[in-house]
Amino acid sequence: MKRIAPAIDLLLPRTCIVCGNRLLSSERHICLECAAEMPLTYFWKQSHNPMSDRFNEVIQKKIEDSSVQESYAYAAALFTYQPEAPFRLIPHNIKYKGDILAGEHFGRMLGKRLKDNVFWKDTDLVIPVPLHWTRKFRRGYNQAEVIASGVASAMGVPFRTDLLTRIKRTGTQTKLNIEEKALNVADAFESRKCGTLKYRHIIIVDDVFTTGSTLGECFRALREVFPPGVRISVATLGFVGEG
């Protein structure tokens, strides 16, 4: 029996965020064909992967005291991000076109995968990379916050936006090299103490992982208030691979 499309779909047809084709009534934000072709990383199944190795290199550069024994930070992304590939439209539309519902949807998609794997099962807090208040005011929302809310919802863990603050308004990272990106976000974040609350594993969430500079600065700020016994890992929708 053919499924009849809801009236709203006839008036305002919903389209796939990746290919632009019209969605079936049972599809949400992405068509089944594009979902099947999504270049998933499967990093959530691996304790060590290219993203986590890169992120831990960033962390080590930020540890001034070489005697500090830092737990290996896990890192996972939903899919491999390529500038020329249509899947780049997922974070692009969330960030620049206000597609908040898509952000929550793909955040839940990532969160479900994290929840089902052993390396992430002890997660008890999700924190988004914050925007500077002036940029959030102008945009109206923080794309990382939207994605993180979906991740936390799927994992069934708390989601907090009050523990990490961006205190320095930074310029766009798009056209900067690795060294310039690191300098651009240096000391841009500040974390506040969370009282008597105890956590075991915190995930910092952003839209796309490129060099890891921004997430590394978030890590540094959180580590100032959370002891080494608290694992701090990262998760994003996209991961920009080598080359």
* Residue 150's CATH number: 3.40.50
Sign (positive or negative) of CA dihedral 89, 91, 96, 102: positive
Domain count, the chain: 2
Q: Give residue 4's pLDDT band: very low, low, confident or very high (50, 70, 90).
A: very low
Can you give the pLDDT at residue 184? 60
Q: Report CA-CA distances (Å) from 112 to 105, 151, 176.
A: 11, 7, 33
Q: Give residue 71's pLDDT band: very low, low, confident or very high (50, 70, 90).
A: confident
Per-residue model confidence as pLDDT tens digits over 205-223? 999 999 999 999 999 999 9
Parallel, antiparallel or unpaired: strands 189-191 and 125-128: unpaired
186 and 225: one domain?
yes
Reported pTM: 0.88
Q: Give residue 3's pLDDT band: very low, low, confident or very high (50, 70, 90).
A: very low
171 and 225: one domain?
yes
Could you give the CA distance from residue 107 to residue 152 in angstroms, rounded to a whole number?
A: 8
33 and 78: one domain?
no
Can you give the pLDDT at residue 1? 37
Interval 152-170 mean pLDDT: 92
Structure-block tokens of residue 140: 């109206």
Could you give the CA distance from residue 130 to residue 180 in angstroms, rounded to a whole number?
A: 20
Interval 186-209 mean pLDDT: 86
146 and 220: one domain?
yes
User: 45-54, 167-176, 208-217: which range is least confident on average?
Assistant: 167-176
87 and 123: one domain?
yes
Its domain, for residue 191, covers: 39-240
Can you give the pLDDT at residue 174? 56
32 and 139: one domain?
no
Dihedral-angle region of residue 183 (phi above 0 means left; psi in -120 to 50 means alpha; beta otherwise): alpha
24 and 109: one domain?
no
122 and 236: one domain?
yes
4 and 85: one domain?
no
27 and 124: one domain?
no
75 and 18: one domain?
no
Task: Check whether 236 has a pLDDT greater than 80.
Answer: yes
* Average pLDDT of every residue of the chain: 88
179 and 212: one domain?
yes
Could you give the CA distance from residue 153 to residue 111 in angstroms, rounded to a whole number?
A: 8
